[in-house]
Amino acid sequence: MIGYLARRLIGAVVVLLALSAIVYGLFYAAPSNPALLACGKGCTPDRLAVVKSSLGLDKPLVDQYLSFLHGIFFGHDYSSGPSVRKCPAPCLGYSFETDQPVTSILSSALPVSASLALGAMALSLLLGIGSGLVTVLSRRRWLDHALNAVVLAGYATPVFLVALVLLIIFCSDLQWLPFPTYVPLTQNPAEWARNLLLPWTALALIQAAAYARMTRAQTLETLGEDHVRTARAYGLSERRVIGRHVLRGALTPLVTMAAIDLAQVMTSAVLTETMFGLPGIGQTLVGAVGSTDLPVIVGVTVTAGTIYILANAFADILYAAIDPRVELA
Amino acid sequence: MSSPSAVLEVRGLGIDFPVRGGEVVGAVKDLSFSVRAGAALGIVGQSGSGKSATALALLGLHRGTPARVSGQVWVDGVDVVAASDAEVRALRASRIAMVFQDPLTALDPFHTIGDQIAEVYRVHTKASRAEARARAIEVLEQVRIADAARRYRAHPHEFSGGMRQRALIAMALACRPKVLVADEPTTALDVTVQAQILDLLDEVRAETGMALVLISHDLGVVAGTADEVVVMHEGVAVERGTAEKVLLDPQDPYTQGLLAAMPRLDSPLPERDAAASEPETLVRIEDVTKHYRRGGALSGRRTEPVPAVDGVSLELRAGETLGVVGESGSGKTTLARMLVRLLEPSAGRVVFAGTDISALGERRLRPLRRDLQMVFQDPLSSLNPRRSVGEIIADPLRIAGESSDAQIRAAVRELMTKVGLDPKSYDRFPHEFSGGMRQRVGIARALAPRPRLLVCDEPVASLDVSTQAVILELLRDVQREYGLTVVFVAHDLAVVRQIADRVAVMRFGRIVELADSGTLFSAPQHEYTRTLLDAVPVVDPVAAREKRERRRSAAAIA
């Protein structure tokens, strides 16, 4: 287990290094002239030269990348003329647009994305697994067909449409819920949930479709396995057969799927975030790309990569905990 | 046959399966039998005889499926056909229990062996957790699982096939049922393990006094265990009686045919042409080894390579048939595949007709490929389902450079006739054929490029005995006609005895004994060969019981 984690960690570091190098190279080497962007409008040639040297943009690209890495682990000092600006580790630089540290931008966006993703995933797993099981176990044809239709509709509906409909009904017409604004969990848990309820529902309605389909298929497959016949042949009640001998096997593959989905919702739910005005990771990235805010782009990409890697490792560990045949080695 | 003390009584059992178009197929028709406490009934039949459908019906397992069951199945005073679902559920495991064919899949992989047994016990007895645990350990000991208290916590994947079957039998014993139904309980197991499981079933029947219903396609399996035998054919009991009477003096032509087709260790050997003096050597293998590495390269674990074949040397004489026998994991299939270079040896040489093919590049190997052909075990999965059988047989001809369509068709038709297929079925597809017919297609395909070496890997293992006999006959015929050298790999010693001139016995990747067929079967030299031969089931019930006694005394000494 420890050996597994160590190997996993090394792998993660390699992936992140490669990822940051590619993103860094792509954006800084492209003809975007970062110094001019950092300098802002109405920049004089003198001022441009100062910015260039203070950001280290006059050095070769490889040196720039290395000093970027150095900043992550040991911090970075930006000297512009006589004044020195200290950026403590982990330093991802400063936004060209707002001049805020990238790390503080991330630390305000991450809780928003995490709140959105965790709630939406919990709700969609509940909905998806529940309805998937109902379709299989009720053995009512019409219910199966009806749910299949709903699932298909869920697949096909874009999230912004669902979001818009929800907003119109619940915030505008019925006025049961406020137009969402993000309230930190630590500040007021009830308001946090009340404001996030609609975004969670919008995402869950769509994600749940996939889980319902998968639950249905996996349960049907497990029901046909020999050991289920054994359980029946030994007089176990149908409830016991399903509860103890079918569900665990049937739902195991969902673990991997859900973990990857969690990472995806956390990092790229731009549409949902935009529709509900949530300042999460996705919105931050899209905003940064729009204004070619290079430090923010690189920072967000590396963070998103980290989230994916963590989610994957988590899925593997969970899988090994559920299935005794899987060994982490 | 009915008697007042019968714990299981079947009267007029019929099982129908509805098929598309509103028709029904009768799987079992008007079947009646009864079993007394402590007795053993064998039900024998080939695939499609309705024996497995009967087994499931004994426990009411057809419920919830489209099958329609009629008649009566009395288990300890309850009619399984007419009883309510709850009554049937209460009956299962507590009064009638079942052991299934494939022990690898019959247990839940997520729960420990002990928990699964304890669960069954608790469901039926309302015992406490501790009592159920104690009972589970007790039955695990009863099926001779050593260190049962520790093995209680093992998951199924940590058990071998034989041990899993023992665990399933333990589960069946847990609630002390009156009847135990065993449906092909040893078909998926090696011959030595099969003997152990059959011995165990016989012992627990004697210890517990429960009735046993043993279902098998193999007459030899029921011979040593059953007192009475029912022979089924197309859903009908064609013959019944004591084991001695049915197996030694069968009256029904179907039973007689089945017995005649069954390969036996004591049947007269078919005559062979005396080998020419000093035949030339076609293949020489020298110290061949094949290692497999466990775990992929990406898993990062440094693993000890596992030798599948470990330093085998052997000479194949032109025109002979070499049998290779061994249990699963003995390396016989790996060796066979190296002979035709489907696998590259890790070390050693395979010299075919003077050329070392063990490390030859694919380009230089290609001209030799047509000389090296193989027939596979599973005739369905080794034939491309999307190509017609004629095209499948034609493939090697096209590869060999034949391009005239008319000539190819003519050659394929000739081959099809030779292997007993109707040439008119050129354009039909593999799924339209029976198992035996598919294997004929496989043989025709192998013969098409006129090979010199034909390697057959378990070619008859998935076939019924009557079909087995026909395919073996066919292989003998084509060998004679084409002057082939044949390597015949099988786990079934009686089958190998029918066809091989010489036999190599493999174990743990090595050849432990290599001798002429006659010598090997009449005077085996190696200990392991003797163990294997002792484990082979025989159809004579008296001889079968003697064999069991011999195994028991051997086990007692060891």
Whether the ω angle into residue B305 lies within 30 degrees of 0, i.e. cis, is no
Same domain for B68 and B145? no
A163 pLDDT exceeds 90? no
Tens digits of residue pLDDT in A76-85: 777 665 667 7
Set of chain B residues whose Cβ sits within 8 Å of the Cβ of A15: none
Task: Note which residues in 247-266 of chain A have CB less than 8 A from chain B.
Answer: 248-249
A218 pLDDT exceeds 90? yes
CB B108 within 8 A of CB B159: no
The reply to whether residue B123 touches residue A240, judged by beta carbons under 8 angstroms, is: yes
Tens digits of residue pLDDT in B125-145: 989 999 999 999 999 999 989
Is A85 an 8 Å CB contact of chain B? no
Nearest-CA distance B184 → chain A (Å): 14
Same domain for B228 and B376? no
Is A317 an 8 Å CB contact of chain B? no
Same domain for B203 and B288? no
Residue after which a domain boundary falls, among B143, B160, B176: B176
The domains of chain A are located at 2-87, 102-322
**CA-to-CA distance for B512 and B508, rounded, in angstroms?**
9
Give the pLDDT confidence score for residue B271 in this predicted structure.
64
CB B440 within 8 A of CB B471: yes
Instruction: Give the number of other Cβ atoms within 10 Å of residue A100's Cβ.
Output: 13
Supply B504's token pair.
């190599």
For A139, nearest residue in chain B (alpha carbons): B64
Set of chain B residues whose Cβ sits within 8 Å of the Cβ of A248: 110
Number of residues that make up chain A: 329
CB B148 within 8 A of CB B177: no
Same domain for B191 and B169? no
Examine residue B530 and state whether it is found in any structural domain, yes or no. no
What's the angle, vertex CA B529, arms to CA B526 and CA B531, rounded to 5? 110
Tens digits of residue pLDDT in A37-71: 777 777 778 878 877 777 777 778 888 888 888 88
Nearest-CA distance A309 → chain B (Å): 17
Q: What is the CATH number that goes with domain A102-322?
A: 1.10.3720.10
Set of chain B residues whose Cβ sits within 8 Å of the Cβ of A227: 105-109
Coil/strand/helix, residue B322 = strand
Examine residue B288 and state whether it is found in any structural domain, yes or no. yes
What are the phi and psi torsion angles at B429 (to 5°)? -105, 155
Give the pLDDT confidence score for residue B356 in this predicted structure.
92
Give the pLDDT confidence score for residue A8 in this predicted structure.
80
Coil/strand/helix, residue B374 = strand
The reply to whether residue B61 touches residue A233, judged by beta carbons under 8 angstroms, is: yes
Closest CA to A112 of A25, A199, A171, A2: A199
Same domain for B349 and B378? yes
CB B240 within 8 A of CB B231: yes
Same domain for B209 and B321? no
Supply A32's token pair.
């975007």
Q: What is the DSSP letter of B518?
A: H
Sheet holding B281-293, edge to edge: B305-317, B281-293, B347-352, B355-356
CATH number for B14: 3.40.50.300
CB B208 within 8 A of CB B183: no
Residue-range definition of the domain harbouring residue B338: 281-294+305-524
The reply to whether residue A226 touches residue B93, judged by beta carbons under 8 angstroms, is: no
Residues of chain B with pLDDT under 70: 1-4, 270-278, 294-304, 558
Residue with tokens 């040489």: B349
Same domain for B507 and B371? yes
The reply to whether residue A236 touches residue B301, judged by beta carbons under 8 angstroms, is: no
Examine residue B105 and state whether it is found in any structural domain, yes or no. no
Is A329 an 8 Å CB contact of chain B? yes
**CA-to-CA distance for A148 and A53, rounded, in angstroms?**
61
Nearest-CA distance A178 → chain B (Å): 46
Same domain for B197 and B254? yes
Nearest-CA distance B159 → chain A (Å): 12
**CA-to-CA distance for B184 and A91, rounded, in angstroms?**
68
The reply to whether residue A323 touches residue B107, judged by beta carbons under 8 angstroms, is: no
Same domain for B210 and B357? no
Same domain for B432 and B503? yes
Helices B541-557 and B191-208, interaxial angle, to 10°?
90
What's this model's pTM, rounded to 2 decimal places?
0.82
Give the pLDDT confidence score for residue A66 in this predicted structure.
86
Is A320 an 8 Å CB contact of chain B? no
Closest CA to A262 of A157, A118, A145, A156: A118
For B87, nearest residue in chain A (alpha carbons): A235
Confidence of residue A30 (pLDDT cuts 50, 70, 90): low
Tens digits of residue pLDDT in A245-280: 999 889 888 988 898 899 988 888 888 888 888 899
CB B433 within 8 A of CB B454: no
Tens digits of residue pLDDT in A185-205: 888 888 888 889 899 998 888
Give the pLDDT confidence score for residue B558 in this predicted structure.
66
Examine residue B433 and state whether it is found in any structural domain, yes or no. yes
For A230, nearest residue in chain B (alpha carbons): B106
Same domain for B148 and B186? no
Beta-strand ranges (E) seen in B226-304 are 228-233, 236-242, 281-293
Supply A177's token pair.
């819920």
Set of chain B residues whose Cβ sits within 8 Å of the Cβ of A249: 108-110
Same domain for B121 and B22? no
Examine residue B45 and state whether it is found in any structural domain, yes or no. yes
Residue with tokens 């919702």: A265
Nearest-CA distance A235 → chain B (Å): 4
The reply to whether residue B92 touches residue A245, judged by beta carbons under 8 angstroms, is: no
Give the pLDDT confidence score for residue B299 in this predicted structure.
45
Closest CA to B165 of B146, B143, B148: B143
Ramachandran class of B350: left when φ > 0, alpha when ψ lies in -120 to 50, beta otherwise:
beta
**CA-to-CA distance for B25 and B17, rounded, in angstroms?**
5
The reply to whether residue A233 touches residue B93, judged by beta carbons under 8 angstroms, is: yes
Give the pLDDT confidence score for residue B96 in this predicted structure.
96
What are the phi and psi torsion angles at B297 (to 5°)? -65, -25
The reply to whether residue A323 touches residue B157, judged by beta carbons under 8 angstroms, is: no
Examine residue B243 and state whether it is found in any structural domain, yes or no. yes
Give the pLDDT confidence score for residue B139 in this predicted structure.
95
Examine residue B556 and state whether it is found in any structural domain, yes or no. yes
Q: How many domains does chain B have?
A: 3
Nearest-CA distance B104 → chain A (Å): 9
Is A224 an 8 Å CB contact of chain B? no
Best residue in A234, A252, A328 for a mutation probing chain B (most B CBs within 10 Å): A234
Examine residue B514 and state whether it is found in any structural domain, yes or no. yes
